[in-house]
Each structure stands twice: as C-alpha cells, then as structure tokens.
Structure 1
Amino acid sequence: MTEFQVRTDLALEARERFEEDVEIRGVEVEEAYDEQRDIRVTVVRIRTENGAKAMGKPIGTYITLEAPRMSEPDEDYHREVSEKLAGYLKKLLDVKNEKSVLVVGLGNREVTPDALGPEAVNHLRVTRHVVREYGKAAFAREKVQLVSTIVPGVMAQTGMETLEIVRGIVAETKPDQVVVIDALAARSSKRLNRTIQISDAGIQPGSGVGNHRNSLTRETIGIPVLAIGVPTVVDAATIVYDATGDRSSVPPGLNGMFVTPKNVDEMIRRLSFTISEALNLALS
C-alpha cells in the first residue's frame, strides 16, 4: 500500500480530518456565514498543547474566509472580501493605538504559485520613511501607522534563512508587530485561490510543500507575528486519493508533486491586490 502524507496549511482542513461530532479537547470552532457577500468564516482556536498535538498546528487563533467567487475577476466582490478581511485584521493587529508594523512578503517571485507574498507587498502603502522624515503632518492625520515592508526571497537566492533576515531587521528597526504573507498548500482543490487564512500563531515557511524552514513566531522573533495566507497548490497524490478513495491507487511518483490552476498568474495578481487592500484598510 502506498503511503503518503496529506499536506495542508489550513487549520480548517486539519479539523475536518475528524468527524463533526467528535470533540477535540483544547480546540474551539465557530462558524458564521455572510449570505449577502457569500463568505463563510470559520474560527478555530487551539487553546492547549493537547489540542495542538491533535490538530498538528501550534496554539493560536486561525480565521479562515472561504469566498467561492474569489476566483472570478469581479473587482466589486474582491473589494467586499478585502473589507471583510480588514475587519478581522484590525482586531488581531489591535490598531487602536499607533503601531509600527513590518510586513514580510514570503516566497519566490520567479515561481508564480509562490509569488503571493512579494506581489502583495508591492501594493502596500508604506509610511514609515515618510513619517520619520516629515512627521505625521505629511498625512494630515493625528494617528498614522508606521508601515515598512521586506521581501526576503528564498534561501536558494540569498543563502540565508528567512528567520535570520527578519530577525535582523526587527532588531534594527524595532517594529511592534510583524505581518507575514505567504502562499499555502491546501488539501482540497476547491479551496485553491478561494480561501484566506489569518493566524496569530505565526508561520513555518514551506511547511505545506514539505520544505520546512525555521518558524516565524513570537517566540523566534520576539514580537507578535500575524500570518496571512492563501492556498495556491494542492498535493497531486491527495487529488488521486480523493478521486479513488484507494491509497494503493496513488503512484509513488506523485509524492512531492503539487498542482496549481493553469490561470495561477492571473489569480496571484488578483489575490495580491485583495490582501494588500485589506491591509491598507486595516492600517489606514
């Protein structure tokens, strides 16, 4: 029998491995549906080490927005998704007071399914340098969030771990919060480019595709880390298994192969705007 590991970065899918009526100690789940916008929101809170072990995810809050029409070129709908996402980001970032926020765009610009982070950072309103140079008067507002960004690339390009780069920047610029944007892996192809997950538990770059790198978390960086991700790939072996229901039907060569939609370049451009607009709204 062929053995393969079902890969997913989504806490929602980790919870779906269990029967709906099965209670996982230390894990709370809340669901809500915005009928007007056709957006389903699932909040998974992992409270204890027991819950973290069962879920295979660190302790923290994971908010998943499922928007089926997000794969469509509907700018009005994407704006609605951005507004919905911004509402949750404001709560998790706690932007009532002025903050300095470093936004990190993870991924490889040269690999389209992995370019979500760098593309999203391109569209952010960066303010830190302006405030430092001219003060808040430049924005004619009493409260201005200091936003800075970095695209650290991948180890094959830099020879450095992302954690090393981010930790060095944090030590030098001293932001209050780090926001990390990254492409994720999903178990279900139906969630590709239609789902956004935000989490206060940080992120482990490359975990969904088996390329584990050092985690970006509060423990490793020293300040709160908020992760935003969209699943852009799904394991090919999982697709075959879901279609057949038979593990023995999964060819060994499919392990480690990942599938992405053929229009992924268009999707990444659209989704990067959706996420950046949400952050711009939340940090305005």
Structure 2
Amino acid sequence: MGSFKIRTDLALEARENAEEEAESLSGVSVEEVYHEDSEVRITKVSITSKNSARALGKPMGTYITLEAPAMTQQDENYHQEISGELSMQLRGIIPELEKESSILVVGLGNRDVTADALGPNVVDNLTVTRHMVKEFGKAAYGKERMHVTSALIPGVMAKTGMESAEIIKGVVEKTKPDAVIVIDALAARSIRRLNRTVQISDAGIHPGSGVGNNRNVITRESLGVPVIAIGVPTVVDAATIVNDAFAKLSGGEGREWMRMQDFPEGFSELYNMYVTGKDVDYEIKQISHIICDAIEGALDMQA
C-alpha cells in the first residue's frame, strides 16, 4: 500500500513535518515568542508563495498558533490570560478594526458530536448586537462607537442538505458584513496539542479537510469579504498515534519512520479513525468560553 501520510490542520505542524524542505523555501517565515507569565507560546507562520503553499499543503496566508498546555485546567484566572493573548492576536489580524464594522461570526460543526461542537458552542455564548442596533441604535448599549456582531450556525450537510459555504455565502450577500470570523474544530498530528492549541488564520478555512471530509472552501475569494478562521484541534488521526508508537519502539523519530516505510499491512482501517480525549465534553465547553471572550474582547472598541 502507499506511504503513510500525516493529517493535520495546523500550519505549525505542517511546517514541522516538512521542516527540511521548508527551510529551503523563500516563501515561508516563522516567528516564535514565549510569554513566561502566561506560559503561552505564540508561533506565526507566514506562507507567501505558491511553491511553499504546495510544499506545506496549506493556502497562502498568515497562521498564528497559541500553545497553552494548561488551557484545559480549571483555573479561571489563567483562562482570562489566554483569552487576553488570543484577543490581542485577533486585533492584529482582523482588518480595519479601528473603523466601526459589521462582523459575522460563524460556528461550524455538528453540535451532536462533542469533538465537532466547538463552533456551535462558541456562537451559543456570543453576545450578538446587530438586531438591537438596527432597532434601537447604539444607544441601546450606551456607546457612541461599536462593532456590530451577528452570528450563524449553518449545521452540517447531512442535516441541511446544503454545504456550509453555500449557507454562509447567502447570509453574507444578504447582510453584507465587513468581515467573517469562522470557528471550527481541527485535526492535529500531536496528542499534546489536543484542546491546548488555538490557530488563527487569515487564509479562511477548508471544512473537514483534516479528517478527509473535504467541503467547499470558506475564504475571502469565495465570500467576497475577509475571512478569519479560528480553530482548535480536538482529534488526532489514530494512524498517527500508531505511527508514533512504532517510531519510538524502533528508536527513531516519527518523520524518519514514515519516510522509510509504508504503513504496516493490517492497520489500514486505522487511517479512517480519529481519537479524542475522554474529557472532551468539558474541555470543549471551557475552550468555547475562552474563544468567545477573546472575540468579544477583540471587537470591544473601548478596550
């Protein structure tokens, strides 16, 4: 059978998996900062050429990854620190936030599948303002300047019969937001990044790509407005876990083992299985609050 191939939605991991090739590509730059006070590592991967995009398997754009190992712990103060870091990064990547804008927040995923329910959970907690401002003006919130927010949970095609991208495009054409923020669950190649990592990107999103369930893209080109994607890896490919185990048993690194050998016979069924943590239900709820607070903080013109 063919060689084993890593599946990941994280540009940081794609860059790690192709590190040697990426170093020789002029279209990839990496910046890394570690904040000791909040224990958050922020890595910015910029993909600026078509060749580097092909090499990494990611569209051109900016990908900011926040790694917070303690994000799943029950510490409200620490969650506020992570939310603050995330909010600051969002302010830097959402265009023209100095002007009053209309922002559509979209929660992708299936709320009936816990590991895929991040997007709907974030939107459930979000304070939307568009309807109030349209009815009563900004005075309803006691503000002279503010961003207007609306929200959408498009569901999944198995329930609606429509692509999420089709639903979102229809809403965008009708309500004409200045930007769209899309939240989705992602797939990672590393267990240690499950529910402990947040990726922000201005390259839009390809729903289901990490789990081999490709859907129509949601990007600036497809919608006609800037699209900011926020994602958290909630699942890992089972085949990746087995691959890493074999690599450790053989005394080599995972990438080296994959390059030298084909995936073992008899394990092919693992390639369509995904693993998540046993506490994923609690962690999804917790992370959804962190992301919701970060979005609202980023869009607060008084902050």
TM-score by length of 1: 0.97
Shift of 1:252: 1.2
Residue 122 of structure 1 aligns with which residue?
124
Shift of 1:51: 1.2
Q: Distance in 1 between matches of 2:204 and 2:213?
A: 17
Q: Distance in 2 between matches of 1:250 and 1:264?
A: 29
Residue 260 of structure 2 aligns with which residue?
none
Residue 134 of structure 1 aligns with which residue?
136
Conserved? CA contact 2:201–2:229, under 8 Å: yes
Residue 203 of structure 2 aligns with which residue?
201
- Pairwise mapping of residues 238-249 of structure 1 onto structure 2 (< 5 A)? 238-245=240-247, 247-248=263-264
Residue 299 of structure 2 aligns with which residue?
283
Residue 23 of structure 1 aligns with which residue?
24
Q: Distance in 2 between matches of 1:43 and 1:24?
A: 16
RMSD, aligned α-carbons: 1.3
Distance 1:222 1:270, change over 3 A: same
Q: Distance in 2 between matches of 1:249 and 1:10?
A: 28
Conserved? CA contact 2:18–2:56, under 8 Å: no
Shift of 1:239: 0.4
Distance 1:77 1:236, change over 3 A: same
1:11 correspondence with 2:11: yes
Q: Distance in 2 between matches of 1:250 and 1:137?
A: 65
Q: Distance in 2 between matches of 1:203 and 1:147?
A: 20
Residue 280 of structure 2 aligns with which residue?
264
Conserved? CA contact 1:11–1:57, under 8 Å: yes
Structure 2 counterpart of 1:11, which letter? A
Secondary structure of the residue aligned to 2:74 is coil
1:91 correspondence with 2:107: no
Distance 1:257 1:242, change over 3 A: same
Residue 251 of structure 2 aligns with which residue?
none
- Pairwise mapping of residues 61-210 of structure 1 onto structure 2 (< 5 A)? 61-93=62-94, 94-210=96-212
Secondary structure of the residue aligned to 2:6 is coil
CA distances 1:171-227 after superposition (whole Å, capped 9, x unpaired)? 100000000000000000110000000000000100000000000001111110000
Alignment gaps of 5+ in structure 1: none
Shift of 1:139: 1.3
Shift of 1:266: 0.3
Residue 56 of structure 1 aligns with which residue?
57
Shift of 1:24: 2.2
Q: Distance in 1 between matches of 2:19 and 2:231?
A: 25
1:255 correspondence with 2:271: yes
Shift of 1:5: 2.6
Secondary structure of the residue aligned to 2:272 is coil
Alignment gaps of 5+ in structure 2: 248-256, 258-262
Structure 2 counterpart of 1:73, which letter? Q
Conserved? CA contact 1:30–1:44, under 8 Å: yes
TM-score by length of 2: 0.91
Between the two proteins, the alignment pairs up a number of residues equal to: 284
Secondary structure of the residue aligned to 1:45 is strand
Secondary structure of the residue aligned to 2:204 is coil
Shift of 1:250: 7.0
Structure 1 counterpart of 2:12, which letter? L
Identity value in percent: 57
Shift of 1:2: 6.1
Conserved? CA contact 1:82–1:278, under 8 Å: yes
Conserved? CA contact 2:206–2:214, under 8 Å: yes
Secondary structure of the residue aligned to 1:43 is strand
Secondary structure of the residue aligned to 1:271 is helix
Structure 1 counterpart of 2:192, which letter? K
Q: Distance in 1 between matches of 2:170 and 2:18?
A: 40
Conserved? CA contact 1:121–1:149, under 8 Å: yes
Shift of 1:92: 1.3
Secondary structure of the residue aligned to 2:159 is helix
Q: Distance in 2 between matches of 1:235 and 1:37?
A: 29
Shift of 1:4: 3.2
